[in-house]
Structure 1
Amino acid sequence: MRAGSQHTAVQLDLGTDPRTGILRRTQKALIARFGRIVRPPDKRRSPEWVLVHGVIGAQTKTAASNASTDGLLTEFGSWEAVAEVSEGELEDRLQRQSFPSVAAKRLKACLQTVIAECGGVDLRHLSNCDTEEAMAWLERLPGVARKNSAGVMNASTFDRKAMVIDGHHRRIMQRMGVVPAKADTAKTYDALMPILPTEWSAADMDEHHLLLKKLGQMFCRPRAAQCDGCPVRDNCQTGLA
């Protein structure tokens, strides 16, 4: 082998985190098992819709939060109008949510804060910010934490490279040994973002999250992980233990 060729091979290996390979293999295995889960461009919602969906969605199934978010906008016509509704009235309309009174309080406070800072419920200014700066701004809003801020950036029409991490995603990454045990959502995000495959697009990150969510629902359950038959067992510290 020529010296130049050897040098190139060594350079390619430098700085490669083995966990990046685990993530690539996990994505491939999950697609092979579950098929593609791709969010079509016409199914991407506005950043404001995704913000509301996240604020009211704690421990609630996605379909229920979708219906609640759509219902509010249909009934009142704008998020500014929703912000004027009393907490009691909002609670009445958020009965699908697991914690309707908490959801109502957080939503009203969040919308009013956005209006106070932006003159309306309008997040277009975030398109001029880099992703980290935009997420930091969002996380200053009442009821907004890392999962929601990443969702606004990744799952909306912003279509940015930010990994959305829910309870399923976090639990699986911990069990696989990719992130520290007991890492919370923000720490999981901070551990994952630097090791994601560089070739992954924002859509790939979205699909990765949705695939892991399905894995958590079907195999890697909170109390009783079903390791037999799990499509990523060969790359999991817990599954191989």
Structure 2
Amino acid sequence: MHSLFSDPRSETLARIHAALIARFGRIPRHDDRRRDPVWTLVQGVIGARTKTHLSNANTDALLARWGSWEAVARAPEAGIAEVLSSATFPAMVSARLKACLSAIAAERGAVDLRHVSNLPTDTAMDWLETLPGVGRKIAAGVMNTSRFDRRALVIDGHHRRVMQRTGLVPPRADTARAYAALMPLLPGEWSARDVDEHHLLVKRLGQTHCRPSGLHCDSCPIRAECETGKQRA
């Protein structure tokens, strides 16, 4: 049978995705309110080392408290930190967020990312990564999970660890290198939604089976596709 994939690793990635759906089910996207590009950016900046549900709630709370992202940019750091009290290192996060929003306002005249929708994905991500506190993971999140709907793969620590153990990403790769290794392997028919769901499914696997230590390879749904899992058979 003729393969749909020019690189056999793309077929491996597709099989991994199917196995994860079979184990964990489908994952719906955020509601439209949480797909605003600035909301997505803010959630990413304040979300480092903080559980996703807390970051989501904190992002909503900031907008509810000040009414606009421009007002958040003008707010005192202590006030932002108070709203972000459930975040990890709220004082550091508030300073980073204020600097990020202020940089956008200074360049664009408002805290607005509409211009990004006119840029090629790589160019848009390069621009986003010039902002304080924004790296590859957050830039990909803005491009993929917001209304921009681009095929950009979010890679967090869980995702990178799983992909390293499968052998699809070099063992010592950082987020940028992991992104560069995986993006060419994404099946061509995957939509932005598929790419988002893939990240969330791999992340869930990393949280449940493929932990930093104490691997549960015996019950892992992708063991047949994983170099580490095969070695532990």
Indicate the TM-score class for this superposition, using the shorter chain for normalisation.
Answer: over 0.9
Report if the CA contact (8 A) 2:34-2:40 is conserved: no
The CA deviation at 1:40 is 5.8
- Does residue 100 of the first structure (1) align with residue 90 of the second (2)? yes
SS of equivalent to 1:192: helix
User: For the pair shown, which has the larger CA radius of gyration, 1 or 2?
Assistant: 1
Report the counterpart of residue 131 of structure 2 in structure 1. Answer: 141
How many residue pairs align between the two structures?
231
The CA deviation at 1:44 is 4.8
AA matched with 1:117: E
Counterparts of 2:190 and 2:86, CA distance in 1: 35
Counterparts of 1:143 and 1:41, CA distance in 2: 25
The percent identity for this pair of structures is 60
Report the counterpart of residue 175 of structure 2 in structure 1. Answer: 185
TM-score of the superposition, structure 2-length normalised?
Answer: 0.95
AA matched with 1:136: D
Report if the CA contact (8 A) 1:44-1:155 is conserved: no
Report if the CA contact (8 A) 1:64-1:97 is conserved: yes
Deviation per CA, 1:119-154: give whole Å up to 9, x if none: 000000011101111000000000000000000000
AA matched with 1:170: R
The CA deviation at 1:16 is 2.4
TM-score of the superposition, structure 1-length normalised?
Answer: 0.92
Report if the CA contact (8 A) 1:20-1:195 is conserved: yes
Distance of aligned partners of 1:41 and 1:62 in 2 relative to their CA distance in 1, 3 Å threshold: closer
Counterparts of 2:33 and 2:162, CA distance in 1: 27
Report the counterpart of residue 78 of structure 2 in structure 1. Answer: 88
Deviation per CA, 1:78-136: give whole Å up to 9, x if none: 00000111112211111111121111110010000000010000000011101111000
Distance of aligned partners of 1:167 and 1:229 in 2 relative to their CA distance in 1, 3 Å threshold: same
Counterparts of 1:111 and 1:174, CA distance in 2: 34
Report the counterpart of residue 231 of structure 1 in structure 2. Answer: 221
- 2:42 pairs with 52, 65, 81, which one? 52
Report the counterpart of residue 68 of structure 1 in structure 2. Answer: 58
Unaligned 5+ residue runs, structure 1? 1-8
The CA deviation at 1:228 is 1.1
Counterparts of 1:37 and 1:205, CA distance in 2: 11
Report the counterpart of residue 77 of structure 1 in structure 2. Answer: 67
The 5 A counterparts of 1:1-241 are 16-39=6-29, 42=32, 44-241=34-231
The CA deviation at 1:42 is 3.4
SS of equivalent to 2:188: coil
Report if the CA contact (8 A) 2:62-2:72 is conserved: yes
Report if the CA contact (8 A) 2:24-2:201 is conserved: yes
AA matched with 2:170: P
The CA deviation at 1:38 is 2.6
Counterparts of 2:111 and 2:41, CA distance in 1: 10
